[in-house]
Amino acid sequence: MSELEKRYSPGLAAQTKRPIEDPGIEPHRVRMTDKSEKHARTAERQIAAMFGVSVIGAIIAIWGFFAFPIVDGDLSATRNNSLWMGLGMALSMLGIGFGAVHWAKTLMPDNEVSELRHQARSSEETRAQALEVVKLADGESGFTRRKLIRRTMYGALAFFPIPGIIIFGDLGPVVGDSLRHTMWKSGTRLAKDPTGIPIKASDVTIGSVFHVIPEGLEDLEEHKLEEKAKAAVLLVRVNPEDLNEDPAKADWSYQGIVAYSKICTHVGCPVALYEQHTHHLLCPCHQSTFDLANHCEVVFGPASRPLPQLPITVDAEGYLVAQSDFLEPVGPSFWDMRK
Amino acid sequence: MTNTTEQKQGFVGGTANYLDERLGLGAVVKGFGRKIFPDHWSFMLGEVAMYSFVILVLSGTFLTFFYQPSMAEVHYDGSYAPLKGAQMSIAYASSLDISFDIRGGLIMRQVHHWAALLFVAAAGLHMLRVFFTGAFRKPRELNWVVGFLLFLMGMAAGFTGYSLPDDLLSGNGLRIIDGMIKGIPVIGPAVSSGFFGGEFPGTEVVARLYSLHIMIVPALIIVLMGVHLMMVVIHKHTHYSGPGRRDDNVVGYPLMPVYVAKAGGFFFLVFGVIAAIAATFTINPIWNYGPYDPSPVSAGTQPDWYIGWLDGALRLAPSGWDVVIAGFVIPMGVMVPLVVSLVFLALVAAYPFIENWVTKDKREHHVLDRPRNAPTRTAIGAAGVTFYGVLWAGASTDLIATNFQMSLNQVLTAMQILLILGPVIAYWVTKRACLSLQRKDREMVLHGRETGRVVRLPHGEYIEVHEPVDKYELWKLVDFKEYEPVLPRPDARGKITVGNRLRSAVSRLYFEDRIAPVSKAEYELAHADHAPAIEDKPKSKRKQKALTK
């Protein structure tokens, strides 16, 4: 087997003889437009008509732009504008498209022709010449011969892109302990989301749910969304008998009122759905389900950690307040969260 | 050239002459003008993707004139009454303005979004076409990889664009990305901080996504698309097996005029269909979702379709997979879906090289396989499609549960089981189906096509008349490549290496069950044997009567 044959070896392919000879390309089927001038003229008129329709479409689109100016508060103007411009554009495009394709299919020749391919591989002569060029260039530059130059060049080429990576170092600040802390601190009142009105313990009836933000969040000058993305809390009051509380955390709730982080421990969606009779909290993004009555442990879905609990109590005026910040990071797990 | 001849040429001739004298375009037209392109509907899938991209650039350019990638807060003061006075980012406000306060803005936004959905869909179907017909074989392996990168870039372009309006839905999508990034061991939190410019959501990410979306990703797509098409020119297009189609020729119509008209017209058809859909069907009604706020979320949220399989992978991970090693947390519930998705993509990219490692077929292949004639490859493809499909359906577990009134938990568990079993079943069923179809082809070659005409022979026997297939059809049925499994063989040093054993085992998986094409001997035997039933179709009523008598 020659070198070239080896390079183009059929591998595991079996060599079977075909039962018949390749009959060659099928004979051309004559179309009506090929043999009848009348049909050809009809096709010509059809194509012209399609191009004509295209012009009408363009005119409709232009008319749609001017006929429906924007009227503040009137959505039907926007709708008509969009509809007629869109339909006009569609008609003008489809007219050209169908016209051109119809033209190709009816009037242009449709006999298939064959053309030879050439192997991608260059001819032996060309390859030899190319090799010569490379060798000549190598000799002239001394690329192979001068090892010192070659190796230092590799070194330089390896190092020069590094500043180009380092330069992006300020894309974001160094991660401090921001992932471990939220706005909650001792005495922060629990307020309604989004109004910011503080919640009195007496307002929370059994079975009711409040979407909660820390009081003062709305007044933040900056980083409002960043703080909210960590501090959002779900407040629920259940019958204290239904609560299976950890004795160590028994004073984290107030008369059956419990507050849990609303940020899913899976990948951070808001756990916004509460099912009253099962006390289950459901994340609508990936269906992680947490049992509110049982320390918000995961009962279903891809999450692994329970939702962190916010220790709460009431202040002198009867408003619900946080005892402290969350005692563990909220939201998705990250590698050094326990350190 | 003299003045008189130029005048005779008229405007077109004059222009052609002008360009040729300066650019030598004559050689290009001579070389490419009559280049042959094979014709098949499935070859248009890639074209749809390319044209969708052109439409994306056109409509996207319009949108850039009005969209502002800033996350600074403003109070909305546009025509959409329900949101008047609401606090939102400038990005969201300008997206609303495009929708409601700029004539043609809404239609362009919808054209852009629909074209993006179509772009990824067409690219995906094109990839499947290439896979199932074996078009990735030598010399096109590299073009498969380029096409694969284009598909990834399509997803990247889609996702970066999806987040730009900064509405509630896309913001939750970003939040999920943030959660996934944070879960990556060691570098996660730092990468997240770098991406968002600090804590999520920050004020940077929309502008960063914007520069990726309108510059980096499209530039990469244009470069890759250029390379992709250049390789098509170098290799010339593949053609389906059939009479006169060989590995050393290409059969089809010339570029000028037929393909200029067909492909050029097809661009307008694609644009027209997208415009018609965009005019009549709402997509991504951002005004319904409201501005991004980390606290609310709507139930039944869905990503754009091409991100669905990744979202499904996240949902299908079972509970409680986090592991703690030496006090460090590895959220496997997030990492496993991520790694599985990446491995799946890597296998897709590597498939041509894997198959070639098995067959060691180093010839150039320009005649496409009919999927049935490569049963194992087709079966592997079906298994891959099933795997992807289950992940994709997994992103809709909640909608499936609510629409069909089933238990969410049971739907999810069923999906988890299907993810493992589905590909196995699909593999087996597809392989058997391919082999059966091959057997049917053999029948047709040997005994002709069933006509459904039952006749009684003079001695009382009933037979069904078979009609021989014509030689053009016949060629299509017998002209395919067949491979045989290989035994592990000792190498030059007399050792059977592990790689050798593995290759032998995989080659058995591929080629142990196979149907060979009809050989010359078989064909001649069959045709010498039962003459009346297959000889030829009765040419006249008389002959038919003779048979019936």
- Confidence (pTM): 0.93
pLDDT reported for residue A207: 87
On the question of pLDDT at B6 being above 50, the answer is no
Chain B residues in contact with A14 by the CB 8 A cut-off are 482-484, 516
- Dihedral angle sign, alpha carbons of residues B19, B22, B28, B29: positive
Given a cut of 90, whether residue B528 has pLDDT beyond it is no
Pick the residue from chain A with its C-alpha nearest to B96.
Answer: A78
ipTM score of complex: 0.94
User: A213: which chain B residues are within 8 Å (Cβ-Cβ)?
Assistant: 295
| CATH number, domain A178-322 | 2.102.10.10
Does any CB of chain B come closer than 8 Å to the CB of residue A68? yes
With CA atoms as reference, the chain B residue closest to A89 would be B275
**Residue whose tokens read 């501005």:** B291
First-to-final CA distance of chain B: 80
Helix (H) or strand (E) holding B533: helix B531-534
Q: What is the distance in angstroms between the Cα of A242 and the nearest Cα belonging to chain B?
A: 24
Tell me the pLDDT tens digit for each residue of B77-116: 999 999 999 999 999 999 999 999 999 999 999 999 999 9
Report the pLDDT value the prediction gives residue B540, as an integer from 0 to 100.
46
Q: Name the residue facing A333 among B193, B297, B329 (closest C-beta).
A: B329
Asked if the Cβ–Cβ distance from B172 to A269 is below 8 Å, we say yes
DSSP strand pairing (B73-75 vs B87-89): antiparallel
Q: Which residues of A touch B39 (CB under 8 A)?
A: 112
CB contact under 8 A, A120 and B247: no
Q: What letter represents residue A241's amino acid? A: E
SS3 label, residue A307: coil
**What is B496-514 written as a DSSP string?**
--HHHHHHHHHHHHHHSS-
- Residues from chain A that touch B472, judged by Cβ atoms under 8 A, are 23, 26
- Residue A116, classified by CB atoms within 10 Å of its CB into exposed (0-12), middle (13-18) or buried (19+), is exposed
- Range of A172-176, B211-215, B465-469 with top mean pLDDT: B211-215
Of B248, B507, B520, nearest to A18 by CB-CB distance is: B520
Tell me the chain A residues in contact with residue B363 when contact means C-beta distances shorter than 8 Å.
8-10, 13
Residue B542 has pLDDT above 50, yes or no: no
Query: Is A285 within 8 Å of B322 when comparing Cβ atoms?
Result: no
Residues B363, A8: C-beta atoms closer than 8 Å? yes
Q: Which of residues 227-266 of A touch B (CB under 8 A)?
A: 228-230, 232, 262-264, 266
Chain B CB contacts of A226 below 8 Å: 198-202
What pLDDT, on a 0 to 100 scale, did the predictor assign at position B492? 84
Q: Does A267 touch chain B (CB under 8 A)?
A: yes
Q: Write the residue in A69, A100, A302 that is nearest to B317 by C-beta.
A: A302
Is A167 in the B-facing interface, judged by CB distances under 8 Å? no
Give me the phi and psi of A286, to 5 degrees please: -130, 15
Residue that the structure tokens 């007399």 belong to: B494
Q: Chains A, B: CB contacts under 8 A, how many?
A: 401
Give the whole-number percent of chain A exceeding pLDDT 90: 78
Residue that is written with structure tokens 């001068």 in the block: A146
Chain B residues close to A212, C-beta within 8 Å: none
Cβ contact, residue pair B243, A22, below 8 Å = yes
Contact between B483 and A68 using a beta-carbon 8 Å cutoff: no
Does domain B33-39+46-314 sit in CATH 1.20.810.10? yes
* The pair of three-digit structure tokens given for residue A111, joined into one six-digit string: 């006999």
SS3 content of chain A, % helix, strand, coil (to 5): 40, 15, 40
Cis preceding-peptide flag for A194 (omega within 30 of 0): yes
Kindly list the domain boundaries of chain A, sorted by start residue. Answer: 32-106, 178-322
Give the strand pairing for B367-368 and B239-240: parallel
Determine which helix (DSSP H) or strand (DSSP E) holds B16, and give its type and residue range: helix B3-23
Q: How far away is chain B from the Cα of A322, in angstroms, using its nearest Cα?
A: 19
Which residue in A47, A211, A304 has the most chain B C-beta atoms within 10 A of its own C-beta, making it the best mutation to test that interface?
A304
> Mapping DSSP to helix (H, G, I), strand (E, B) and coil, where does residue B272 land?
helix
Mean pLDDT of the B34-57 span = 95
Average pLDDT value for residue range A275-292: 92
- Please tell me the predicted confidence (pLDDT) of residue B543: 44
Residue B537 has pLDDT above 50, yes or no: no
- Chain A residues with CB under 8 Å of B236 CB are 115, 117
| Domain parsing of chain B, residue ranges | 33-39+46-314, 434-548
Taking only the tens place, the pLDDT of each residue in B343-354 is 999 999 999 999
- Identify from A22, A84, A105, A222 which residue to disrupt to test chain B contact, counting B C-beta atoms within 10 A and taking the largest count: A22
Nearest to A335 among B185, B265, B398 (CB): B185
Q: Do A332 and B178 touch (CB under 8 A)?
A: yes
Is B294 in contact with A17 (Cβ distance < 8 A)? no
- Cα gap B105→A135, rounded to integer Å: 60
Alpha carbon of B370: minimum distance to chain A alpha carbons (Å)? 16
Whether residue B497 is predicted with pLDDT greater than 60 in this model: the reply is yes
Residue B529 is predicted with a pLDDT of 57
Select the residue of B35, B106, B292 nearest A78 (Cβ to Cβ): B106
Cβ atoms of B154 and B123 within 8 Å: the answer is yes
**C-alpha gyration radius of chain B:** 30
Residue from the list A82, A270, A284 with its beta carbon closest to the beta carbon of B279: A82
Q: Which of B139, B262, B409 sits opposite A104 (nearest CB)?
A: B262
Average pLDDT value for residue range B110-130 = 97
Is B251's CB within 8 Å of A25's CB? yes
- AA identity, residue A178: S
Q: Which of B199, B119, B203 is nearest to B153 (CA)?
A: B119
Q: What's the mean pLDDT in A253-267?
A: 94
Residue B7: pLDDT band by 50, 70, 90 thresholds?
Answer: low
Does residue B257 carry a pLDDT above 80? yes
Nearest chain A residue (CA) to B84: A73
